[in-house]
Chains A and B, each alone.
Chain A
């Protein structure tokens, strides 16, 4: 059974940093691109960014709203994807979800974690 479990959320002051983790199980982690999404309280979904599998260079792409502040990385030996968030702003407050991409060449996200809440407030 595919499982994605996010961790690392919490309360952080504006301007500080936080690192989220997404621990995967039930599939060959290294074969898949992994994405992060977020959902502000009472709002819709927003794509944050993704990291390709090593077979596709392990490169990353980001939404304009987080580019230069957020970094996605992966440790295939541990089946973990990370979201490093720097220079946090109050508008980054959201539930953050990690997802598995549907497979090579896919443009959808077939498994989602339960999410972890990040609150940016002084």
Chain B
């Protein structure tokens, strides 16, 4: 049981937009603007896509955007491309005994 709740899977067609949600509590997602999102292709290391809720690292496509409302953060990918097919994990700093918590991951399928 992951601390943050993500949908197990989402799908979309090329060119469409999709949104992945990440629900936590006031002790993590809702309490801090320290939500980050990671993309992981099979057999590869995770890659930072969004940090501090809505900031994109240099080199990450502007098709990726992040937001937060209350205890739920969201990752939106617009103009879906085949290479976006991957697992996506949200993470948040937390005031609990474990400093960082993750969602269980969402498998994005590009149809």
Contacts and interface: CB of A to CB of B under 8 A. Distances in A.
A44 interface: yes
Contact of B98 (A47, A111, A113): A47
A109 B89 CA distance: 13
Interface string B67-107: 00000000000000000000001010100011111111100
A60 to B, nearest CB: 11
B51 A47 contact: no
A107 B98 contact: no
A113 B45 contact: yes
B79 to A, nearest CB: 24
A61 B102 contact: no
Interface size on A, as a range, is 20 to 34
Given A44-B102, A44-B104, A61-B99, A108 B45 contact: no
Contacts of B104: 44
Given A44-B103, A47-B99, A64-B97, A110 B48 contact: yes
Nearest to B33: A107
Interface residues of B, number: 25
Contacts of A46: 102
A115 B100 contact: no
A107 B36 contact: yes
B102 A47 contact: yes
B38 to A, nearest CB: 7
A64 B97 CA distance: 7
A55 interface: no
Contact of B89 (A45, A102, A110): A45
Interface of B: 2, 32, 34, 36, 38, 44-48, 51-52, 57, 89, 91, 93, 97-105
Interface of A: 44-47, 50, 61, 63-64, 97, 102, 106-115
19 contacts: A44-B104, A45-B38, A45-B89, A45-B91, A46-B102, A47-B102, A63-B98, A64-B97, A97-B45, A97-B46, A107-B32, A107-B93, A107-B100, A108-B34, A108-B52, A108-B91, A112-B47, A112-B48, A115-B45
